[in-house]
Amino acid sequence: MRPTRRHTLAVLSLALAVVLPGCGARAGSASGSPSGPTAATPSSAAHATGDGTVVTDHEETTADGGRRVTLGLPDPYTPHAPSGGTDDYHCQLLDPHLTADTFLTGFTFRVGNPTVVHHAIFFRVPPDAVAAVRSKDAETPDPGWTCFGDSGIPQSSTKRVDALDRAGWLGAWAPGGKPAAFPAGTGVELAAGTQIVVQLHYNLLAGGGTDSSGITLNLTKPGTALRPLHTMLLPAPVDLPCAASQSGPLCDRTAALGNLGERFGPAAAARVGGLDLLCGVDPAHPRIGPTQTCTRPVRRPITVVAVAGHMHLLGRTIRVERITGAGRASTLLDIPVWNFDDQGARRLPTPVALRVGDQLRVTCTHDAALRDQLPELAALPDRHVLWGEGTSDEMCLGIVTYLDA
pLDDT at 16 over 80: no
> What is the band of 218 on the pLDDT scale with cuts at 50, 70, 90?
very high
Q: What is the pLDDT of residue 251?
A: 98
Higher pLDDT, 57 or 43: 57
Across residues 86-98, what is the average pLDDT?
91
- 305 and 223 in one domain? no
Closest CA to 195 of 246, 140, 136, 235: 136
Across residues 340-344, what is the average pLDDT?
80
Across residues 97-116, what is the average pLDDT?
92
pLDDT in tens, 346-363: 899 999 999 999 999 999
- 218 and 285 in one domain? no
pLDDT at 208 over 80: yes
> What is the band of 168 on the pLDDT scale with cuts at 50, 70, 90?
confident
- 393 and 245 in one domain? yes
Q: What is the pLDDT of residue 352?
A: 97
Higher pLDDT, 252 or 15: 252
Query: Which range, of 17-21, 135-139, 299-303, 314-318, averages the lowest pLDDT?
Result: 17-21
Q: What is the pLDDT of residue 157?
A: 44
Across residues 108-119, what is the average pLDDT?
88
Last residue of a domain, one of 210, 228, 246: 228
Last residue of a domain, one of 209, 228, 247: 228
pLDDT at 383 over 50: yes
Closest CA to 380 of 364, 367, 393: 393
- Taking the model in full, what pTM does it have? 0.81
pLDDT at 369 over 90: yes
Q: How many residues does the chain have?
A: 405
- 67 and 79 in one domain? yes
For residue 377, the SS3 value is helix
- Indicate which CATH number applies to the domain containing 294: 2.60.120
- 75 and 49 in one domain? yes
Q: What is the pLDDT of residue 154?
A: 63
Across residues 338-351, what is the average pLDDT?
88
- The answer to whether the CB of 287 falls within 8 A of the CB of 396 is no
- The answer to whether the CB of 286 falls within 8 A of the CB of 239 is yes
- 212 and 149 in one domain? yes
Across residues 87-113, what is the average pLDDT?
92
Domain span at residue 358? 5-16+232-404
The CA distance from 291 to 365, in Å, is: 4
Across residues 175-183, what is the average pLDDT?
80
- The answer to whether the CB of 212 falls within 8 A of the CB of 78 is no
- What backbone torsions phi and psi does residue 17 show, to the nearest 5 degrees? -60, -30
How many separate domains does the chain show?
Answer: 2
> What is the band of 81 on the pLDDT scale with cuts at 50, 70, 90?
confident
The CA distance from 111 to 134, in Å, is: 24
